[in-house]
Structure 1
């Protein structure tokens, strides 16, 4: 999964690097769309969390037929839900981007880019639901391989669609979206072909399963989607703050956002691969294994992110030189990388705690933790730093907010694991025969 996520996020960074060669205005225009793209991703990830949690719990409890019914339902419901969201975002684009601070020039560039980008977002969401089904059944190899394949397709198509070849002048900014749409569409065809060879879906009993599982699904998917929707909302507010610092700051912030997801590749891979394990342990009542898995995951995340973040902070001038074409954008990006990247160790802890909470039957607590991270820790310090010291203050404030959020998340996880283990121990003493 780490290899697949690295490839997937790498091609998103490559998209921005190619677009940066078109100039600061197209890069800034693309940066304004990131919060809404993350909104779609937030909904799809929330639904994917519910898919993985319910199916893995059903498999852990030996309910194979129910797992098949759940798999069929979530693919249909998820695809329709994302389609409706994509239509709303296309219809309301003018007021949304105006509120985000996009001027007339940026809105004109966005208008040509937005329709193919939303098509790519829908295809990517459906593909993600299929990935979630594979992960729930313990197969992370195929999703990882297909992520690499789609990334390679996008990498090959990006320069052709953006800049053109021979007499064809290319499409400019919209070319990046069309390349992504074709890559996701190709991956979806391959994934569906492989899915048809697995006995994981069924057409029977879907209405009865929908009536019986809608509450459980909503109980996980609802808080999970809210948790996933908080980052896009916070990103919109952050972009509106950054927009007050100038066009080069917005462009640099967009590149930093893409670099952030790439730097968090190990964390993202764990948030995809760990919940099915935790779900099966939860279904079997094995809390000792749950504690062992979470401790190992947190140690890996903290160690890896500190090493990577510190290294990239030291290399920030060269990283900026590689990604940005304008001198002003390079200067702003250097500042952002230097302060933000090391703080992603604490951000990774928070993301892992939220993901584990959804898998272990604490979706409401996970939602509250995600909300607190963004609206009590991240945004207030980001705004305060920006008001006091411009872009450097903004970077330092965001980094400090990440550290505070990671500390709070760690304390919450320790408390919940201790409480759940104690309750499981009491139940084991009271009901030894039934549990056996």
Structure 2
């Protein structure tokens, strides 16, 4: 999964790097779309968490037929939900982007990019739900390999569709979105063929299973989805604050956001692969194994993220040079990297605790931890930093917010593991 996440997030960073060659305004236009793109991702990840939790617990309890019915239901409901969401996001785009600080010229660039980007978002969500089904059954190799395949397809198409080749002129900013849509479509075709060879889906008894499992699914997916939707809301508020510092700061912040997700690849891989394992242990009541898994995961997160953050902080000027062609954007990006990258170690701890909370039957605590991270620690620190010190304050404030969130998450996890429950009541027969 780490290899897959690296390739997936790497192609997103490559998108931004190619777009930065078009100029500061196209890069800023793409950066303004990140909060709404994260909104779609938040909904799909929240549903994916519930998929993995329900199916892995059913398998751990020996309820194989129920796991097949759940697999069919979540694929159907998930793709329909995301389709409705992307239609809504197209409809409300003008007032939303205007409220985020995008001027008329930038909104024109966004409009041409937004339609193919929303199509790519829907295709990516359908692919993600398929990945979640494989992970719930303990297969992380196929999702990882498929992420690599789609990343390579996107990487080959990006320069062709953005810049063109020979006499054919490229599409500019929309070309990046079309490249992603084509890559995800190819992934869906391959994943569908593989899924057809399994016995993980069922068309019988779906109505009764929906009536039985809907409250359970909502109890997990609801808080998990809210937890995943809070980052896009926080991102909207953050970028509106960053916009007061100028267009180059917005462009640098967008690149830093892409670099953040790439640098968190190990954490993201564990938040995908660890919950199904925890869910099976939870369904079987094996709390000793749960303790061992969490101790190991936390050690890996802290050591990896802190080491990677310090190395990238030292290499900040060269990393910024690779990612941006604008001197102003490079200067701002290098400053953000120096402060933010080392702070992703405590941020990773917080992300892992939230993911484990959903898998272990504490979705409400996980949701409250996400809310505290963003609205008690991160945003207040960021806004105060901008008010006191401009771009320097922005970078320092965001780092301090991540540190405070990591400390709080560690304390929450200690209390959770100190009072385990044998078996979740919602799965009692």
SS at match of 1:62: coil
Q: Give 2:251's aligned residue.
A: 251
1:7 counterpart = 2:15: no
Q: Give 2:100's aligned residue.
A: 100
Q: Give 2:402's aligned residue.
A: 402
Q: Give 1:434's aligned residue.
A: none
SS at match of 1:244: helix
Q: Give 1:219 deviation, angstroms.
A: 0.2
Q: Give 1:49's aligned residue.
A: 49
Distance in 2 between the 1:192 and 1:376 partners? Answer: 42
Distance in 2 between the 1:377 and 1:325 partners? Answer: 33
SS at match of 2:101: coil
Distance in 1 between the 2:334 and 2:166 partners? Answer: 36
SS at match of 2:166: coil
Q: Give 1:142's aligned residue.
A: 142
1:387 counterpart = 2:387: yes
1:165 counterpart = 2:165: yes
Q: Give 1:17 deviation, angstroms.
A: 0.1
Length-normalised TM-score, structure 1? 0.97
Q: What is the 5 A alignment of 1:17-416? A: 17-416=17-416
Q: Give 2:427's aligned residue.
A: none
Distance in 1 between the 2:290 and 2:314 partners? Answer: 36
Q: Give 1:363 deviation, angstroms.
A: 0.2
**1:74-97 Cα distance to aligned partner (Å, 9 max, x none):** 000000000000000000000000
Distance in 2 between the 1:320 and 1:180 partners? Answer: 24
Distance in 2 between the 1:381 and 1:350 partners? Answer: 17
**1:140-168 Cα distance to aligned partner (Å, 9 max, x none):** 00000000000000000000000000111
Q: Give 1:264 deviation, angstroms.
A: 0.1
Q: Give 1:227 deviation, angstroms.
A: 0.2
Distance in 1 between the 2:381 and 2:61 partners? Answer: 45
**1:208-230 Cα distance to aligned partner (Å, 9 max, x none):** 00000000000000000000000
Distance in 1 between the 2:201 and 2:46 partners? Answer: 21
**1:171-210 Cα distance to aligned partner (Å, 9 max, x none):** 0000000000000010011001100000000100000000
Length, aligned pairs only = 424
Q: What are the ranges of 5 or more consecutive residues in structure 1 without an aligned counterpart?
A: 428-436
**1:2-21 Cα distance to aligned partner (Å, 9 max, x none):** 00000000000000000000
State the 4+ residue runs in structure 1 displaced beyond 2 angstroms.
none
Distance in 2 between the 1:373 and 1:355 partners? Answer: 14
Q: Give 1:406 deviation, angstroms.
A: 0.3
**1:304-344 Cα distance to aligned partner (Å, 9 max, x none):** 00000000000000000000110000000001000000000
Distance in 1 between the 2:325 and 2:107 partners? Answer: 22
Q: Give 1:432's aligned residue.
A: none
Distance in 2 between the 1:343 and 1:297 partners? Answer: 18
SS at match of 1:74: helix
**1:270-311 Cα distance to aligned partner (Å, 9 max, x none):** 000000000000000000100100000000000000000000
Q: Give 1:430's aligned residue.
A: none
Q: Give 1:419 deviation, angstroms.
A: 1.2
**1:363-418 Cα distance to aligned partner (Å, 9 max, x none):** 00000000000000000000000000001101100100100000000000011100
Q: Give 2:417's aligned residue.
A: 417
Distance in 2 between the 1:10 and 1:416 partners? Answer: 34
Distance in 1 between the 2:379 and 2:105 partners? Answer: 28
SS at match of 1:102: coil
Distance in 2 between the 1:343 and 1:289 partners? Answer: 29
Distance in 2 between the 1:271 and 1:242 partners? Answer: 29
SS at match of 1:307: helix
Q: Give 1:243 deviation, angstroms.
A: 0.3
CA-based RMSD: 0.9
